[in-house]
Structure 1
Amino acid sequence: MTALPRVPDDAPGDVEEPLAGGNVSAGVVRVGDTVRRPAGPWTPAVHAVLTRLADVGFRHAPRSLGLDDRGRHVVEHVPGVMAHPLPDGVTAPGLADVGRLARDLHDALDGWSPPPDARFQRVIPPDREDLVIHHDLAPWNLVLAEDRLVLIDWDGCGPGTRTWDLAYAAHAFVPLAPADAGGPGTDAAAAGLRALADGYGLDDAGRERLARTLAPRTWSMHTLLEHGHRTGTQPWARLWDEGHGGFWRRDAEWVEEHAAALRAALTA
């Protein structure tokens, strides 16, 4: 794979500001108008994806700038607030807007072939491999910038399907969870799911696929954490110990219990 460009050394006076948030963000810092994150074998592939998005005018992702003198991946820092946790007084992004962002992303990458030696870091096998997707399209990876929504944390991107990405986004943004665990209630969840699909412009076949994929995609996170717990693989073992496995099981069971209502909202 083509070597990544080198980013000039930090300007005098630049300081490193650790960035918190997410579950696997150790070592991520802000330096001036850039973000630096630990690189890995997947970084050239991520750079290729972000370069493709920039080349086609997709405005909802940071630009990838290359590697710094310490070998860290350097991307554009986009000013704004995170959609999770949402600060007081800030309105959450509309579900139709999230759907449109997902559609624009998938359209921008559909038909594009990654470099033949690309090495992606996917932690969960998708249902199929049709195009490159984000794999973690969620509020904790969404920046509410002044003039746009910006999707960050691309280290886990890789081949998958539109439905796989959209099912994960539905769980995270609606959210698909019991009312006593932060969910909006069955009727509101069904309406939110439909708004997400409407914003995406999902056709009838796509709505059927999404309805069938909601539970398996949610269970896939529980499986990942359970496997991490059994094998000691981090950070999944730590997240299991913190109770995340139980949260995903609870939500997957809720989605299965309310599958008929969710499907009806999508396909009516």
Structure 2
Amino acid sequence: MDEREVLVGGVNEVVREGGVVRRPAGAWSPTVQRLLAHLRDAGFTGAPRPHGLGDDGATELVEFLPGEVGHDFGAPQVRGEASLVAMGRLLRAFHDASATFPRLPDDVWHLPPREPAEVICHGDAATYNTVFAGGLPVALIDFDTAHPAPRVWDAAYTAYRFVPLYAPDEAALTLPVPEALRRLGVFADAYGLSEGDRAALPAVAAERLRALVEYMRAHAAQGHPAFARHVAEGHDRRYLTDAAWIEEHFRGRL
């Protein structure tokens, strides 16, 4: 049986070879490998074990986690309320484990740290970077964008993807404002957000989307093929529309 499989991904080519995943390495990969080792030592099992870098230094090796990745935003297990609760708890457990990560002066992060750097954020804890088993989120993958930041910075983007907080012109997945607001509260409760972070969540979600647009456009301008394709397909405009809608309908209401 062929044990080599090219996995579905949005930016990088990722290959599974048996129980190991090979993915392109960056300057930040040694720091990410150390983070993944720390998470295991801290008792967090919802992330792949690190297996170091390839001999050429151009690939990063991590454990393959069996299950189904949430690429289909509309799948029942992705949209279900039980998944919303489980994801809030998974993200909280990850953040709590990462809070004790010993930061070193020579750490390299793909994204710049943000203050207050309360935890190590995943940076892209969305459905497509979540492994589902038994219909529920059980693990996070693809830690390339991990970086020190406030808890709410991560929570805001995860809520955007899991609630979801999509403007009405995204007809297939959008929710009426009262239902989206209710689900946003369910997620905030499951995570256990502080009162201040809960109140800030909608505004931070809009800020997070605008930061994502800046990131996408900068990488597209540098010739990155995946981001150039995303911009050409209008993903940046989608995020800006959603950011404005979130600010208009959710600010000060959670």
Contact 1:141–1:152 (8 Å) recurs in 2:
yes
Contact 1:17–1:30 (8 Å) recurs in 2:
yes
Secondary structure of 1:225 counterpart? helix
Which residue in the other structure is 1:35 paired with?
21
Does residue 100 of structure 1 match 2:86? no
Q: Distance in 2 between matches of 1:178 and 1:128?
A: 30
Does residue 134 of structure 1 match 2:122? yes
Does residue 48 of structure 1 match 2:62? no
Report the AA paired with residue 130 of structure 1. Answer: E
Does residue 242 of structure 1 match 2:233? yes
Aligned pairs for 1:188-267 within 5 A: 188-260=179-251, 263-264=252-253, 266=254
Q: Distance in 2 between matches of 1:121 and 1:91?
A: 27
Does residue 111 of structure 1 match 2:83? no
Report the AA paired with residue 202 of structure 1. Answer: L
CA drift at 1:68: 3.2
Q: Distance in 1 between matches of 2:150 and 2:189?
A: 18
Q: Distance in 1 between matches of 2:129 and 2:118?
A: 23
Secondary structure of 1:149 counterpart? strand
Report the AA paired with residue 165 of structure 1. Answer: D
Which residue in the other structure is 2:139 paired with?
150
Tell me the C-alpha RMSD between the 2 structures: 2.3
**TM-score normalized with structure 2 length:** 0.88
CA drift at 1:211: 3.5
Does residue 161 of structure 1 match 2:147? no
Deviations 1:89-138 (A, max 9, x none): 6564521211111111111111322232111111x664543321101010
Cα 1:251–1:49 shift into 2, 3 Å: same
Deviations 1:180-232 (A, max 9, x none): 30222211110111011000111212212323312211221222233344554
Q: Distance in 2 between matches of 1:89 and 1:177?
A: 17
Deviates more, 1:222-231 or 1:235-244: 222-231
Does residue 85 of structure 1 match 2:69? no
5+ long unaligned stretches in structure 1: 1-12
Cα 1:127–1:45 shift into 2, 3 Å: same
Contact 2:78–2:127 (8 Å) recurs in 1:
no
Contact 2:202–2:246 (8 Å) recurs in 1:
no
Report the AA paired with residue 173 of structure 1. Answer: F
Which residue in the other structure is 2:54 paired with?
68
Higher Rg: 1
Contact 2:216–2:231 (8 Å) recurs in 1:
yes
Secondary structure of 2:169 counterpart? helix
5+ long unaligned stretches in structure 2: none
May I ask how many residue pairs the two structures share in their alignment? 248
Contact 1:133–1:161 (8 Å) recurs in 2:
yes
Contact 1:48–1:114 (8 Å) recurs in 2:
no
